[in-house]
Amino acid sequence: MTHDQNALLIRDRSVKVFLLLLLLIISRLSYSQDDTISATNPQVCRNGIKGMPLIVPVPFFYAGLSVGYERYISRHHVMEFCGYYYFNIDEMGAKSHSFSLMPGYKYFFFSKNKMLNNSWAGVYLSYYQKIQTTFDGGDPEGDDNGSNRQYYYGIGLSVGKKIYLNKTKRLFLDLGFGVAFNKWLDEPIFSETRWEDKYINNTILPRPILQFGWKF
């Protein structure tokens, strides 16, 4: 095993240990057994904002920010609007930007088993666009280089859990996972090209969910 392979193996194990410790700490400090919203509480918080920055410097550069807003309609029903923007440079020097907008709905579960409280399942619409500005080598002047856009339109399903991190139930962590089923086009859906002449393909986009937030 080479030095680089050893380094990658150590880094991979370190990330796994860090994530395991993070989940253990959160589970010890969380207050998820209580209700999301109570109609009998006149001071209930019906709004929430959330977000998470991300920077991955190796083996390629990847940076971005995810943000979201939640509106608590009732104890079980929540509307949300989320989005993210990411920029990355891959190992060959290609640069790309991507962003997504995702309006959605969440249903929160409550039961006698308090460990299941504040678990949720949701459905969301997904608009995702990827803009590749330079290709291999990072040279925008090459014959095969230039701006290239990809457009994704889809609908997704998600599951997860809202974990409260303080006793006032304001600071929280959203932890979950989603997957969207998309139509992929190489031009906007409302372009002048006739529908039968458009290049259309099917693809699936995963959606890891890890955001800290505040209710107000």
pLDDT tens digits, residue range 108-156? 998 877 778 889 999 999 999 999 887 655 455 444 455 688 999 999 9
Confidence of residue 25 (pLDDT cuts 50, 70, 90): low
Residue 169 — left, alpha, or beta (φ > 0 → left; ψ -120 to 50 → alpha)? left
- Cα–Cα distance, 87 to 62 (Å, whole number): 6
pLDDT value, residue 120:
95
Looking at the DSSP assignment, which residues form a beta bridge with residue 150?
130
Q: Which residues contact 15 (CB under 8 A, 6 or more apart)?
A: none
- Predicted confidence at residue 40, as pLDDT, reads 42
> How large a percentage of the chain has pLDDT more than 70?
73
- pTM, rounded to two decimals: 0.77
Per-residue pLDDT at 29 exceeds 80: no
Question: How open is the CA angle 53-161-151, to the nearest 5 degrees?
Answer: 50
Cβ contacts of 13 within 8 Å, gap of 6 or more: none
Tens digits of residue pLDDT in 164-200: 998 888 999 999 999 999 999 988 888 888 877 788 8
Helices (H), the chain: 3-29
d(CA 184, CA 80): 24
Mean pLDDT, residues 80-102 taken together: 90
- Give the per-residue pLDDT at 111: 81
Distance between start and end Cα atoms, the chain: 53
Q: Which of 87, 82, 88 is nearest to 51 (CA)?
A: 82
Sorted by where each starts, the structural domains of the chain and their CATH numbers stand as: 31-215 (2.40.160.20)
What pLDDT score was predicted for residue 102?
Answer: 98
- Cα–Cα dist 206/84, whole Å: 14
Query: For a pLDDT cut of 90, what percent of the chain falls above it?
Result: 49
Owner of token pair 């859990």: 161
Residue 202 is predicted with a pLDDT of 94
| Tokens encoding 63 | 């940076």
Q: Given a cut of 70, is residue 157 above it in pLDDT?
A: yes
Average pLDDT across the chain, whole number: 80
pLDDT at 34 exceeding the cut of 60: no
d(CA 192, CA 170): 48
